[in-house]
Structure 1
Amino acid sequence: MSDWQLRALNRNDAESYLAHWLALSGPVRYRCFGRIVSEAELHRLAETLVVEGRMLCGMFAPDGTLACVAQAFPCGDGCFELSFSVLPQWRGNGFARNAGERLCRMLGARGARELRLRCQRSNLPMRALAVCLGFDLSVRGDGLVGVRTLMRPGAGGLRADLAQASNQPGVPL
């Protein structure tokens, strides 16, 4: 790989996905998942990288390292919950924004109606990302909840986004 690459993740990316999460400290993983996540659980997540309904998008560095992960988990009724992770050495470069924008388009192409995300109030980078991606934020307990309603893309964008979403084997469109 000679350049940065932003694309949907597929089964072949399981090793890169696992390496991404293992490169993060326990406290950072806690902030991403909202709970303690063991290495055994990370291995299970990587083994089931592509499951029905779940969509993942990543930014790969020129050396093949998965620098950023944007994930969407279905929560029913056309709604998905998003989460993001960027390796420390690549934070502040707009990778989460780029991956988030791509993931939002892919989800819109698949008919998602609403996106949600959650973060701690103290997570200023995630708060800024949520606002940048068009989420409306509200305080819930000790955290923030973001909600964004999706619009279906136009015909040209729909074709491109469906093609990107179809790069993920095992995920029906």
Structure 2
Amino acid sequence: MGYQYILFYKPYNVLSQFSSGSTPPAADSAPRLTLKDFIPIADVYPVGRLDRDSEGLMLLTDNGRVQHRLSEPRFGHRRTYWVQVEHLPSTAAIAQLRQGVTIKGYRTLPCQVELMAIAPPLSERDPPIRDRQSIPTAWLEMTLQEGKNRQVRRMTAAVGHPTLRLVRQAIAHLHLGDLQPGQWRPATPAERQGLLQL
């Protein structure tokens, strides 16, 4: 049997791992959801991570070579995010993001950033984002070649536009497509071939 490649739409408030860790949840809080609550397949592991408060595409596989190529920073690959931010970013703010910003003493690499004319076709988040009528929001499409910890959130905050919702839409040639939060599917033959060519 060949390697397995699973595309998963991680919902908000789900840990990007199969165990909830050694710290039990507080008595008054709900159990932490993990990948184990959604994916009934043994011996596949996530390629990279998404923060608990981020959503979107994850790839899981048992192919160590593919996992290494997609996780190792020196093999940079595209990751595309749909990012809802506070206020409408100015042309100058978008130019800053494109050129790279300094966060935690590190200068981010140049990236692609576009202001989206309409909100992306996403289902409502559960729970929904904080809605303040006095503060407008906007959606950006950001494509990065690197993936530092909480990088997108720190980048938008650095230019004065805190992130409200973050959804990873693509990893290299893989896309969310029709997946809904909590759903997964095996990679298609074409997607598998693309992964083997990395």
Higher relative contact order (Cα pairs below 8 Å, separated by 6+ residues): 2
Larger fraction in helix: 1
TM over 0.5, shorter chain:
no
User: TM-score w.r.t. structure 1 length?
Assistant: 0.30
Higher Rg: 2
User: TM-score w.r.t. structure 2 length?
Assistant: 0.27
